[in-house]
Amino acid sequence: MSSEPLRSIHVMAGVITDPRGRILLTRRTEGRDLAGRWEFPGGKREPGETEAQALSRELHEELGIAVEVGEPLITVPQQYPDKRLRLDVRHIASWKGAPRGHEGQALAWVAPDKLPRYAMPPADRPVVAALLHPDRYLVTPVPAAGEDTTWLVQLEAALSAGVRRVQIRLPGMGEDARRRLARLAVTLCRKANAEVLINGDLRLARELETGVHLRAAQLPELSLRPLSDAVPVAASCHTAEELRRAEDLGCDFVVLGSVQATASHPGAAPLGWEGFARLRESVSLPIYAIGGMQPDQIDHARQQGAQGIAAIRGLWPVTAEAVATSLS
């Protein structure tokens, strides 16, 4: 006997910022699901309302303020035991009034970097990540033989173009050459204030004091988070089981794909965006979409619940000539 489909709920939420740059959170009251958790204020969209109308109405009823709804931030599909939620989050461009908890809820104005300290419902965790962390994640290609210098110049150009999260992935290189190049790459990333993770090699990550990006095959081998909370831990995932395993290990974020067909995996069936969103529902992790991604797809990726995109070709300067042009 098949179970009845879960009810679907479309919830609008707003990122409200005060003149000091703090963000408003509200606390779920007793008697509600996940009582006591903090969340971005908003509520359910009613039939016949546009997204902006629903959010404006909810914030007026809940907080007593009049708002101008701004640009989308992220839309998070999240499955709960009794429902499927679509959390549609918008920036609030401006607001008037003095926010008060008209439904008896507590309010807190929180500095952005303090948001992760607040216990939130699962759907809100990706929202915090979307506010605080990069929307693109560069995975480095392997340099051609004798092209280490060009590779470093290309990395520097990618950093100059705004990349702020980098995975150093150098398969097939000898250990000494890989360590030397990784060390130089880490220096460039730190100079650009970019977060850097080493692919798969925990020993090298500890040696260079970087984060680590775990391969999917490594996930079943670990029972605990392999590095301290002071450095990032990420993972590559392809299935719901791998996503849940990464979450159980305490990964800070993951990449999921391939979303689209890629030249590097010609025989692999892509997830497509529908498949990506369906898997996104199963965990509260921030997730980058990978596989055929380009920067102009970031907004669409965010509407499927992604933190943004991860890519090699899409974020890497193609040729030395292109590097020279980008730096001129």
Query: At residue 323, does pLDDT exceed 70?
Result: no
Q: What is the mean pLDDT of residues 33-40?
A: 92
Q: Within a 10 A sphere around the Cβ of 313, how many other Cβ atoms?
A: 14
CA angle (324, 289, 221) in 5-degree steps: 110
What confidence tens digit (pLDDT) does each residue in 273-297 have?
Answer: 999 999 999 999 999 999 999 999 9
Q: Side-chain half-sphere of 205: how many Cα atoms within 13 Å?
A: 24
Q: What is the mean pLDDT of residues 301-312?
A: 97
Query: At residue 265, does pLDDT exceed 80?
Result: no
Instruction: Answer yes or no: is 39 a known binding residue.
Output: yes
What confidence tens digit (pLDDT) does each residue in 108-125 have?
Answer: 999 999 999 999 999 999
What confidence tens digit (pLDDT) does each residue in 92-108 have?
Answer: 999 999 999 999 999 99
pTM, entire model: 0.93
Q: What is the pLDDT at residue 324?
A: 53
Instruction: Answer yes or no: is 40 a known binding residue.
Output: yes
Q: What is the pLDDT at residue 269?
A: 83
**Structural domains of the chain, with CATH:** 7-120 (3.90.79.10), 136-327 (3.20.20.70)
Query: At residue 16, does pLDDT exceed 60?
Result: yes
Query: At residue 1, does pLDDT exceed 60?
Result: no
Instruction: Answer yes or no: is 41 a known binding residue.
Output: yes
Q: What is the pLDDT at residue 31?
A: 78
Range name among 11-15, 32-36, 78-82, 169-173 with the lowest pLDDT average: 32-36
Instruction: Answer yes or no: is 51 a known binding residue.
Output: no
Q: What is the pLDDT at residue 267?
A: 66
Is-cis flag, bond preceding 284, omega within 30?
no
Query: At residue 3, does pLDDT exceed 80?
Result: no
Query: At residue 219, does pLDDT exceed 50?
Result: yes
Average pLDDT of the chain to the nearest whole number: 94
Instruction: Answer yes or no: is 242 a known binding residue.
Output: no
What confidence tens digit (pLDDT) does each residue in 145-199 have?
Answer: 889 999 999 999 999 999 999 999 999 999 999 999 999 999 999 999 999 999 9
SS3 labels along the chain? CCCCCCEEEEEEEEECECCCCCEEEEECCCCCCCCCCEECCEEECCCCCCHHHHHHHHHHHHHCCEEEEEEEEEEEEEEECCEEEEEEEEEEEEEECCCCCCCCCCEEEECHHHHHHCCCCHHHHHHHHHHHCCCEEEECCCCCCCCHHHHHHHHHHHHHCCCCEEEECCCCCCHHHHHHHHHHHHHHHHHCCCEEEEECCHHHHHHHCCEEEECHHHHHHCCCCCCCCCCCEEEEECCHHHHHHHHHHCCCEEEECCCCCECCECCCCCCHHHHHHHHHCCCCCCEEEECCCCHHHHHHHHHCCCCEEEECHHHCCCCHHHHHHHHC
What confidence tens digit (pLDDT) does each residue in 119-142 have?
Answer: 999 999 999 999 999 999 999 999
